[in-house]
Structure 1
Amino acid sequence: MEVLLLLGLLFTGAIVADYIRIRKQNTKLRRNVAVLSEYVAKHYGLDYTYWLINKEEDE
């Protein structure tokens, strides 16, 4: 009976550890996506805006 209790506790601990690990990965991923989207908006957004301005001036 004690062996089943021990196995149950180990199994529960493994599930909790995986849940915490996945939460940390998702948080890190969200942070990376936010930084990347800010970078793209800042750099490529400016390039696209300048391209539109130059295109309108050429016409």
Structure 2
Amino acid sequence: MEELKQRIEKLENLVEDLILMLGRANQRVFNLSIQTTHLENQLLKNHLNDHTLSTKHVS
């Protein structure tokens, strides 16, 4: 009976650790998503600026 209690406690601790790990991974994914969106916006802005400059140069 005592062994069963210890096994359950170990499993509970493992589940808690996994939940914390998933939380950290989720935070990393969220941060990467924000960074990706920012970089995409910068690329789009640069592309539009380049296009505007090239059309002004041609005119």
TM over 0.5: yes
Deviation at 1:38, TM superposition (A): 0.7
Q: Are 1:30 and 2:33 matched, yes or no?
A: yes
> After TM superposition, where is structure 1 displaced by more than 3 Å over at least 4 residues in a row?
none
Instruction: State the identity %.
Output: 11
TM-score normalized by structure 1? 0.77
CA RMSD of aligned residues (A): 1.4
Q: Tell me by how many angstroms 1:46 deviates.
A: 1.4
* CA drift at 1:5: 1.3
Structure 1 residue runs of 5 or longer lacking an equivalent are: none
> What's the CA shift for 1:43?
1.7
Separation in 2, partners of 1:37, 1:49: 18
**Structure 2, unaligned runs of 5 or more:** none
Deviation at 1:29, TM superposition (A): 0.4
Aligned residues: 55
TM-score by structure 2 length?
A: 0.77
- What does the per-residue CA deviation read over 1:30-53, in whole Å, with 9 as the maximum and x for residues that have no partner? 0000111111111232103432x2
